[in-house]
Structure 1
Amino acid sequence: METSTKTKISPSRIIETGMGFWASKTLLTAVNLGLFTHLAKGALTAKEIKEHLELNERSLYDFLDALVALGFLNRKGLEQTAVYSNTAETDLYLDKNKATYIGGMLEMGNNRLYPFWNNLEDALKTGLPQNEVKNGNMPFFEVLYSNEKRLRQFISAMGGFQMGNFISFAKSFDFSNYKTLCDIGGAGCELSMQVSTHHPHMECISFDLPKVSEIAQEKLEEMDYSPRIKIVSGNFFNEDFPSVDVITMGNILHDWGTRDKKLLISKAYQALPKGGALVVLENLIDDERKENVFGLLMSLNMLIETYEGYDFTASKFKRWAKDAGFQKTEVIPLAGPTSAAIAYK
């Protein structure tokens, strides 16, 4: 293979990506140990961190300094004289005592998803999920709904992980011509809360399964958002959607195969009035399928977790929406790799 003398070829990116699980597991372990929550109270020496987290002396500095090199910790001094503190990002997003905490998703990544991804090769060859069902257990969501503590943790993790997107959507979407909204699969009703906060004229419904709705109702009463937000229980496959001006779905469609995706889009069309909007918040894969790495990897995660789910491009959503009867679509970028795909009736 001939190469230009001006082009410098290096194996660095291959090595860094191939061994990327080293960095991933280091961050996930730090989150799981609560390191950033401890440091949110103030800077600590390595010895103090060792005592707080009950760590062994061996590799203590390697662990902490790897987090420094990765950009997740600040440090003054070196080794025995070193004092460690959070960066602005880790202090905001990885302190469990802050409402902006997104570590719940990372905890789930560490405790559940990490070992399942070891079987990606099997998933690619069989097309079958590699999570709990592989060993004969119930599907993940059935396991989740059977344990209230685990369900609460999951709802909290998803809410924190999506909060930036919900805030961005509430600020970016033009609600001036609408009065009502229903969030299908509303979980802890965080999206409804953000819309209500930024648009006091909006009345919102958070629609989810009964066990989830009970948790959302508790949260709603704690936050005192009533009566502008209503919790409605139901199964979005078996029951009609409420008749509202705007229907939202946050990371719902990617859980399902094409047939069910089309069904949910069609049900939204039937429930909306003329001029109404369906808003899908997803990690939309770019149409050329080469830029949104997170969206593509999330789609592989759907392979690991579900029987038919996958992430999709804006062009595919546009086609499905048109087939359902929607007149036009648009895309609004949100936080990070997430976008709002909007279909207007």
Structure 2
Amino acid sequence: MKTENSNTQPNPATILQTGTGFWASKVLLTAVNFGLFTLLAKHSTMQATDIKTALKLNCSDRNIYDFLDTLTGLGFLNREGLLASAHYSNTIDTDVFLDKAKPSYIGGILEMMNNRLWNFWGNLEDGLRTGMIQNEAKNGGQNLFEVIYSNPELLKTFVNGMTGVQKGNFITFSESFDFSKYKTLVDAGGSAAVLSAMVAKNQPHMTCCSFDLPELENLATNTIKSYQVSDRVKVISGDFFKDNLPQADVITMGNILHDWDEETKLKLMQIAYDALPAGGAFVAIENVIDNDRRENVFGMLMSLNMLIETGDGFDYTFNDFNRWAKQIGFKSTSLLPLVGPSSAAIAYK
């Protein structure tokens, strides 16, 4: 059978690579859970048997060679030599982003994927058949956030995961967005206050507020102290569905809109609109899907993840965002690319 391009022979490579993709994912997630990249950052370079001992692994030497060489082939480790004589070290990317000792660590999202989402994604078929959530709240009658916020350890895992996936975006946004016209910012659903801290750190004229439920107050306060921006960042506890947002020149929401159905998305945008002055900006930092829905595959996978996590949440295109912004009454919109598949969708009042 011929493909659409008669000059191209059928090739199963992509099918097999994607179909077995969970193998590669599990290798990386396991390495993160073991703290392998943090270990290598401390020692610069190590041999396989030393890594095996340090990680207290009881597998054979051949198993550890296979594990480390797979990570090398995937581009996550450097290697000099072969098998018993090989020395392994981090790549530039894993050294920066997967060493827990560095503030640039993003492994929290990978830890959450390994410890929570790995099993839940095994239920994707059920999610598509039923349209129902497939996580901890599947059979309990509660929504995701009620379950997570009632369990301190689960909440910490979730917050670390969200911080990991968004930290690079928050840094880029704090450096790239034009704050010259503004003085105040409220991050609605601010979680651990990382976005507020980043903006305060990189924009000395800005004062910020991280707004979230009371369960996040201690985590947010600790973040603010760690970045030494307590003089310009404060924490306010509240529920944006029940309490008015503090008024500010800029209202941000990082990975918030995609949690909800369209009706609730519009409600949240209206809440932000009401808290802004004329000329103020509402910013949604998410994995905005390209309008043709072909390029940002990560954004579409994240949208499926919202099926797993919330049932009726979904990620969206910039065209979707424009339509909602116009419906609310915003005057104009723009899109600011951030890190990888993420962007800041901006609506101006």
Q: Which band: TM-score by shorter chain?
A: over 0.9
2:149 to 145, 148, 160: 145
The residue that corresponds to 2:293 in the other structure is 289
Which shifted more, 194-203 or 292-301?
194-203
Task: State the AA in 2 paired with 1:12.
Answer: A
1:282, 1:340 within 8 Å by CA — same for their partners in 2? Answer: yes
Task: State the AA in 2 paired with 1:38.
Answer: L
TM-score normalised per structure 2: 0.95
Paired positions, count: 345
1:97 to 98, 101, 110: 101
Cα offsets for 1:227-268 (capped at 9, x unmatched)? 211111100111111111110000000001111100000111
Give the Cα separation in 2 of the matches to 1:33 and 1:176: 44
Task: State the AA in 1 paired with 2:29.
Answer: L
1:132, 1:138 within 8 Å by CA — same for their partners in 2? Answer: no
The residue that corresponds to 1:69 in the other structure is 73
- The 5 A counterparts of 1:188-199 are 188-199=192-203
Return 5+ residue gaps in structure 2 as ranges.
none
Q: Secondary structure at the match of 1:331?
A: strand
The residue that corresponds to 2:189 in the other structure is 185
Which shifted more, 282-291 or 140-149?
140-149
Q: Secondary structure at the match of 1:337?
A: coil
1:182, 1:244 within 8 Å by CA — same for their partners in 2? Answer: yes
Which shifted more, 127-136 or 239-248?
127-136
Give the Cα separation in 2 of the matches to 1:2 and 1:147: 55
2:186, 2:208 within 8 Å by CA — same for their partners in 1? Answer: yes
The residue that corresponds to 1:81 in the other structure is 85
Q: Over aligned residue pairs, what C-alpha RMSD do you find? A: 1.4
The answer on 1:298 being equivalent to 2:302 is: yes
2:194, 2:223 within 8 Å by CA — same for their partners in 1? Answer: no
Give the Cα separation in 2 of the matches to 1:71 and 1:157: 23
Task: State the AA in 2 paired with 1:46.
Answer: A
The residue that corresponds to 2:18 in the other structure is 17
The residue that corresponds to 2:270 in the other structure is 266
2:48, 2:64 within 8 Å by CA — same for their partners in 1? Answer: yes
Assess, with a 3 A threshold, how the Cα gap between structure 1 residues 5 and 209 changes in structure 2: closer, same or farther.
closer
Q: Secondary structure at the match of 1:243?
A: coil
The answer on 1:241 being equivalent to 2:242 is: no
Give the Cα separation in 1 of the matches to 2:27 and 2:218: 36
The answer on 1:165 being equivalent to 2:169 is: yes
Return 5+ residue gaps in structure 1 as ranges.
none
2:336, 2:343 within 8 Å by CA — same for their partners in 1? Answer: yes
Give the Cα separation in 1 of the matches to 2:234 and 2:140: 38
How much identity, in percent, do the aligned residues show? 57
Assess, with a 3 A threshold, how the Cα gap between structure 1 residues 52 and 139 changes in structure 2: closer, same or farther.
farther
| 1:5 positional shift | 5.5
2:158 to 154, 157, 164: 154
TM-score normalised per structure 1: 0.97
| 1:188 positional shift | 1.1
Give the Cα separation in 2 of the matches to 1:2 and 1:52: 52
1:52 to 31, 34, 54: 54
Give the Cα separation in 1 of the matches to 2:154 and 2:226: 20
Q: Secondary structure at the match of 1:133?
A: coil
The answer on 1:175 being equivalent to 2:176 is: no
Task: State the AA in 1 paired with 2:47.
Answer: T
Task: State the AA in 1 paired with 2:51.
Answer: I
The residue that corresponds to 2:36 in the other structure is 35
| 1:138 positional shift | 4.7
Task: State the AA in 2 paired with 1:32.
Answer: N
